[in-house]
Amino acid sequence: MPSNSHGANPPIDIDEDTPANASLNSTIGDVIAERLSRRDLIRSALAVSVMTSTIAPLAIAAAARPARAEDGVKPSFVFAEVEAGSDTTHHVADGYHADILIRWGDPVLAGAPEFNPAQPSATAQEKQFGYNNDFIGFIPLDGRADHGLLVVNHEYTNDDLMYFGLLGWTRKGKLDSMSDEQIRSSMAAHGGTVIEVKRIGERWHVVDTSNYARRITAQTPMQITGPAAGHPLMQTIGDPSGTRVLGMLNNCAGGVTPWGTWLTCEENFNFYFANKEALKKHKLSTQLRRYGVGEGFYPWSRVDTRFDIGQEPNECNRFGWVVEIDPLDPNSTPKKRTALGRFKHEGAGNIVNTDGRFVIYQGDDQRFDYVYKFVTEGKVDPANRAANMDILDTGTLYVARFDANGRGEWLPLVTSDPKLSSFTDQGDILIHSRLAADALGATKMDRPEDVEVNPKTGKVYVILTNNDKRSAKEADAANPRPENRFGHIIEILPDQGDHATTGFAWEILVKCGDPSIAEVGATFNAATSRNGWFGMPDNCAVDADGRLWVATDGNNFEVTGRTDGLFALETEGARRGTSRLFFRCPTGAEMCGPYFTPDLETLFVAVQHPGESEDPAKPASTENPTTRWPDFKDGQPPRPSVVAITKIGGGKIGV
């Protein structure tokens, strides 16, 4: 068993918004500040000037004036921009259909009953579409872009918006007001869904009674594979072998592999494990606190003892992984690939490297945590699907260090590094990836969420949502946003275009927020309209033409009058940093899961937790949501849904 020597972080208060990283590693703000100081910036410079000077020289030139038609530079995106704002429904650019494809509670499996929110039932929910759809992936059938499988993550549940009688319910209080059946139904609403979809004319439809249809929940049997499989820290009373586990939790972003499997990422798994008193006595209490375990925002331990730290002290180690699922085989066992590390996973952007090895980029979505990548030992065999099915069990996990000179280094998390000598073995390192990354001196980031690769340029986009916990004492002219409420996007270019190498260059693509407010320091291209700027970037997609699309999470419509949405962001040339609003969410909702069909004629998006409220004086509930989208029926709760977007008359999206 590992000692506490590699978990030297002091105890912290556990909260979903509280950073769990107490290491002394440099933050990305420190790195940016040092980099700017090397450029001899004048300390009295305006915030906008300072922030602009952090981006590439070409972007600086572009930001100095709007891109003009006479520049002769054709924009990557051509559509009538949506007006930013807030109301109870969704909006898409003129000339497009935006159709509800499937909603929470719609049937997935044969025999699924009608949606009945007044009578929550775990048995029913196990056959119905789950809640809070996040990542979406499309896997063509027979190579067709108009017929395939849609794989969808179900991240978490807003129980107060699902069930009646929880008025004023929050994740931190009034948990006792939930019935046991409501809890079990919520457990069934987690996980994921596989559905078969087909385009008929310009509209998409779910194929009823499909042989591929599948629901995955918090109770679905899964296999633990890779270096941590069978480790003593993975063994429980219910599974002494440490190789079998029930379910996946809080699955946020993800990816699709070239061999047609679904990578789904467990993020805030700590929310589900309770018993603070047992945590204090746990022999690895410090390590668990580094992952925020112990609060128990969900009352699942009342109906399932494996979520009680006192009864199953190792169960939480079996969550926080990337899960690989074969959607082409509904009877296959999902596999938790421990070689990819354990943390609050956000995204699995991937590419086949020039030497044939497979590379997966990952973010750890918490303030002051890290960016990772995994490189397989074996090579992808494009002619033999079966040969790739376990390729993710062997390889090297790296964590990123960003240097002030615009360079960076990927640091391997391996037993041979003397800095990791306190870890007993590779399984221990992977179970405690955060602590290993602390020891290696990785750069503390501002909530790394999705990380995606541009297949055209080889650049990697790191989406950093925000970090409002940065102290004001750290603020100066070179780092003017001590409370980074709006986030930014970093662009990585691997040396020689080799994604398996350890060296890379990095640059800031855009600092987010309202560019009309100088103190914010946003660096959008001046061609960006008042509708086009965004804050709190979260998910992203790079389409087959290499264009970047950014989804947001956190625009407080009650304060700003703007909801979240999907933005098209220019990344090259004179228009670099120009953003346009393509799709707008209803009130209270988050934009998730943008994913294109291979022909770029369909864009699938996920609208999550519509009806939510950020106003503590007016908490939303099933009885009183901020919208009843998409059904708009009295007495009917709002329903997270997948939306299929197509061009009226056909053709590529955004051109």
- Give the model's pLDDT for residue 205: 98
Confidence at residue 8, expressed as pLDDT on a 0 to 100 scale: 34
Q: 581-590 pLDDT, tens per residue?
A: 999 999 999 9
Ranges 42-46, 182-186, 483-487: which has the least confidence = 42-46
| pLDDT of amino acid 39 | 41
Which of residues 621 and 52 earns the better pLDDT score?
Answer: 621
Radius of gyration of the chain (CA): 23
φ/ψ of 32, rounded to 5, equals -60, -45
Domain that holds residue 110: 10-467+478-647
pLDDT for res 56: 36
Q: How far apart are CA 165 and CA 355, in angstroms?
A: 57
In this structure, is residue 473 part of a structural domain? Answer: no
Q: What is the tally of structural domains in the chain?
A: 1
How confident is the model over 561-595, as pLDDT tens digits? Answer: 899 999 999 999 999 999 999 999 999 999 999 99
The string of DSSP codes covering 160-175 is HHHSTT-TT-BTTB-G
Is residue 92 within 8 Å of residue 567, measured between CB atoms? Answer: no
The tens digit of pLDDT for each residue in 61-85 reads: 333 344 444 455 789 999 999 999 9
What pLDDT is recorded for position 171? 55
Rounded to the nearest 5°, which phi and psi values hold at 510?
Answer: -160, 140
Q: What percent of the chain has pLDDT over 70?
A: 87
The residue-averaged pLDDT of 258-277 equals 96
Q: What is the pLDDT of residue 474?
A: 52
Question: Across residues 212-230, what is the average pLDDT?
Answer: 98
> Region 182-193: what's the mean pLDDT?
98
pLDDT, tens digit, 9 for 90 and up, residues 49-62: 323 333 333 333 33
Q: Is 427 helix (H, G, I), strand (E, B) or coil?
A: helix
Grade residue 473 by pLDDT with cuts at 50, 70 and 90: low
Q: Give the range among 105-109, 160-164, 254-258 with minimum mean pLDDT.
A: 160-164
Q: Would residue 5 count as lying in a domain?
A: no
Q: Is residue 570 part of a domain?
A: yes
**Residue 172's pLDDT is what?**
56
Residue 115 falls within a domain, yes or no? yes
How would residue 295 be classed by pLDDT, with cut points 50, 70 and 90?
A: confident
CA–CA gap between residue 469 and residue 165 (Å, rounded): 34
* % of the chain exceeding 90 in pLDDT: 78
pTM for this one? 0.92
What is the model's pLDDT at position 41?
32
What is the reported pLDDT for 58?
32
Question: Which pair of structure tokens corresponds to residue 78?
Answer: 């051509």
Q: Output the CA–CA distances (angstroms, integers) from residue 528 to 377, 545, 581, in the order listed.
A: 43, 21, 10
pLDDT tens digits, residue range 503-516? Answer: 999 999 999 999 99
Residue 296 has pLDDT above 90, yes or no: no
Section 252-256 average pLDDT:
97
pLDDT per residue over 302-356, tens digit each? 999 999 999 999 999 999 999 999 999 999 999 999 999 999 999 999 999 999 9
Instruction: Check residue 470 and give its pLDDT.
Output: 67
* pLDDT at site 166: 84
- Give per-residue pLDDT as tens, 408-466: 999 999 999 999 999 999 999 999 999 999 999 999 999 999 999 999 999 999 999 99
What are the structure tokens assigned to 124, written together?
């029913």
Q: Which of 281, 320, 268, 311 is CA-nearest to residue 432?
A: 320
Put the strands of the sheet holding 579-584 in their side by side order.
91-92, 579-584, 565-569, 548-552, 537-542
Give yes or no for a contact between 342 and 293, defined as CB atoms under 8 angstroms apart.
Answer: no
CB-based contact 589:642 (threshold 8 Å): no
Whether residue 654 is contained in a domain is answered as: no
Average pLDDT, the chain: 89
Which pLDDT score, from 0 to 100, does residue 65 have?
Answer: 42
Q: Judge whether 338 lies within some domain.
A: yes
Cα of 25 vs its chain's centroid, Å: 24
pLDDT above 50 for 5? no
**Per-residue model confidence (pLDDT) at position 28:** 67
CA distances for 433 relative to 7, 373, 377, angstroms: 11, 12, 19
The mean pLDDT of 512-539, rounded to a whole number, is: 94
Interval 145-161 mean pLDDT: 96
